[in-house]
Amino acid sequence: MCRTTVALRVFWKLPCQSGLDRAEARPRGERLLAVVPLGLALVAGAAHAAAPEPQWLVDARAKEGVLVAPHLVTSADKSISFSVPAPMTGALAEDKDAYTAVLTLAPGITGECVILKTDVDPAAFLRATARITFTDTIEKVHGKIEMRAVEHVDAGMAGPTPYLSASWIYRANDGTGARIGGLRQYVGRHAGHSTYCALNDIGYAETFAKVALAVIGSLKASDDPPAPYFEEISVVSIGDARVGFGSIEMHRDADGDTKSVENEAMIVPGGAGEPQTFDSVTTAWVTPAGALINLKKVSVNNGEVEINLDLQHAQDTGWVLSGKFKSKDVQAALPAAAPSTWVTQTNLRRELLARESPIGAEAVRTDWLSANPGEFTTTTVKVLAAIDANSYLVRETFGPASMDLAVDRKSGQSFRGTMEMGPVKVTATRVFVRGSP
């Protein structure tokens, strides 16, 4: 059995810094707008009411381009292809790290999509590329960035691919006056490929969104790995804002064991400056009966590895936890137990919901949580109410936290979960499922 280690790529070390450097060699000054004393009103917090935007800014934001019929773009080496509803400016460029497409949104207005040959942490990648774009390109062309803020983040699905996006507004000053600009970013990740699209313009938002999501959603690569036998993707929201996505893929090896790989990415605007980002990968091996064999968890916070832990079964002593947690070396023995897996949890809920009167039915299980990695956590699963004929509301309580799940009675799978965390409500909603676990 293969027990591979999943290590997240930290973008700082990625040699390819996307195509933006090259793109910014072209003059873009004309796309920045007139000098305005806009100040911080655009990013004012709750303590101050935001000033209405001046008409010139409203007009600039409203600009859109014209899309064309989608056309197929294939790399010269036939390795990748995608479909896009915008004319290409020049050919698809290739270097050792990426393919780069410059796409025309309107006369004189181009966006760029970069198909990376390596995997990236989507949220950290957005943050890192924004930083590089501001400091290495925009500042050099338009002067000092006096203010920048994330106006909007989003997450969702483009075809079979989850994506994250961030829209920035910034004010640059080259000494002759302040100018307002916008930076739009999209990143999608699927089957080992990552696509990054960016536009440095305050307008053309919808046009660019359609172009970027078309590229992300239609990307095909000749080296795509075998399709998983089960795949599920969910979108994470904080309040009404979609801020992240999660996915799980399951593959079976020759022994019948399942390797599940869960990816998560989240980007949260955190005030003036940069957003907070979270990326993680959890790889677990599970027996055909659903028992955990081992597990590896890597979490990256703002591009820096925060958790890198292995949970290994020890024949005599239960479990051994080892690795790094918050910069510290960790080596801990956990008691003999059967920590739950995706399979056993689904089975447990299905059993509860199969009862004649499931409401009020309750069971407990043992979980290993990365939020409390030094010990196992007992989780209580309780059926609260029927949602409709086919689904129930189930509350899972783990330590001091709880989450309410909408669960399909027949499969035991949850398709929506809501959790109150402090002043905010976090919701994870399944948006894509293929196969059966």
Partner 1 sequence: MSIVTRRAVVHLRALLLVFCVAFGHAASGQSLFVIPTDSPTGPGVADEQPLLVSLHLREPAALAKVLDVPAPVAGADVLRYVMQDYPAISPGTKRAWSEPSFVVDYLDPSVTALGREFATARAESGAVGPPTPGDLVRFVHGVIRGSRDRGLDVASEIAAIRLGDCKNYAVLTVALARAAGVPARVVFGIVLLRFDTRYGAYGHAWAEVLVDGRWVAADAALTAEHARVRYLPFGVLENEGMGYALDAARLTPVWVQRVEVLGAASTGSPLPQSPRTGVPRFVLR
Subset of 267-286 contacting partner 1 (CB under 8 A): 268-274, 276, 278, 280, 282
Q: Name the residue among 128, 176, 173, 181 with its Cα closest to residue 146.
A: 173
Which parts of 135-154 interact with partner 1 (CB under 8 A)? 149-151
415 binds partner 1 (CB under 8 A): yes
241 binds partner 1 (CB under 8 A): yes
Site for partner 1 in 380-399 (CB under 8 A): 396, 398-399
Q: How far is the CB of 55 from partner 1 (least distance, A)?
A: 23
Q: Which of 369, 384, 387, 393 binds partner 1 (CB under 8 A)?
A: 369
Q: Which of 81, 83, 301, 366 binds partner 1 (CB under 8 A)?
A: 301
Binding flag, residue 373, partner 1 (CB under 8 A): yes
Contact in structure between 170 and 176 (CB atoms under 8 Å): no
Give the integer Cα–Cα distance in Å for 418 and 378: 19
Cα 303 from Cα 298, distance rounded (Å): 12
Q: What angle do CA 117, 261, 129 make, to 5 degrees?
A: 40
Helix (H) or strand (E) holding 258: strand 258-268
**Number of residues this chain uses to bind partner 1 (CB under 8 A):** 81
* Near partner 1 by CB under 8 A: residue from 254, 326, 356, 388: 326
State in angstroms the smallest separation of the CB of 181 from partner 1: 17
Can you say how many angstroms the Cα of residue 174 is from the centroid of all Cα atoms in its chain? 34
Judged by CB under 8 A, does residue 132 bind partner 1? no
Asked if 33 touches partner 1 (CB under 8 A), the answer is: no
Cβ(381)–Cβ(394) under 8 Å? yes
> Residue 390 Cβ, how far from partner 1 at the closest point, in Å?
17
Q: Does 248 bind partner 1 (CB under 8 A)?
A: yes
Distance CA 417, CA 406 (A): 6
> 226 vs 423, which CB is nearer to partner 1?
423
Find the binder of partner 1 among 104, 207, 345, 391 (CB under 8 A): 345
**E-strand spans in 269-413?**
276-286, 292-301, 304-314, 318-325, 328-334, 362-367, 377-388, 391-398, 401-408
